[in-house]
Amino acid sequence: MQKLIRIEPSKCIGCKTCEMACSFKHTGEFMPSRSRIFNEVFLDEAKFITVTCMQCDDPWCVKACPKSAISKEMPSGVVIVDRDRCVGCRTCVSACPFGMIKYVPTLGKVDKCDLCGGDTPECVSFCPTGCLTLEEEDTPLRQKVLRFVNAMKDGQMEA
């Protein structure tokens, strides 16, 4: 199975360390605007939501690219931009429904999460709460199912 960055929002504290770590690794600067992972803070609702590229099975960006610069590598399943082929036309930026691929003016190319090319992703390494993990198994999903079935179990015990 494909390893993906798994995100458990309940553990997030909104510190944006993932954005800092990502941009620092890939640009040499602490520059959240260049991060490939997004930690959004909703102060009023006390919600912290983190999103990044989920390396789609059938990616919009791959289909949209007129220069065949984007491909889904196997067996890793990572969706990769070939910078030599990318002409910076931004078609993929329009195509991705999630906004997870972006054009970088200083490069003249697009940029997206590549799971740090086989290393443990830097965001996962530096996440202080374990909100981010790199796993084959979708543990956060399993935890949600367990919470649900436990509520069901408790409900039945009352009856």
List of residues contacting another protein (CB under 8 A): 13-17, 20-21, 23-24, 27-34, 41, 43-44, 46, 48, 126, 128-129
Amino acid at 56: C
**Enclosing H/E stretch for 44:** none
Q: Which is nearer to another protein, 106 or 156 (CB)?
A: 106
Is residue 27 within 8 Å of 140, Cβ to Cβ?
no
Q: Which is nearer to another protein, 60 or 126 (CB)?
A: 126
Q: Which is nearer to another protein, 94 or 129 (CB)?
A: 129
Q: C-beta of 108: minimal distance to another protein in Å? A: 17
Q: Look up tokens 């009856």; give the residue.
A: 159
Q: C-beta of 133: minimal distance to another protein in Å? A: 16
What is the Cα Rg of the chain in Å? 18
Is residue 139 within 8 Å of 6, Cβ to Cβ?
yes
Q: C-beta of 29: minimal distance to another protein in Å? A: 3
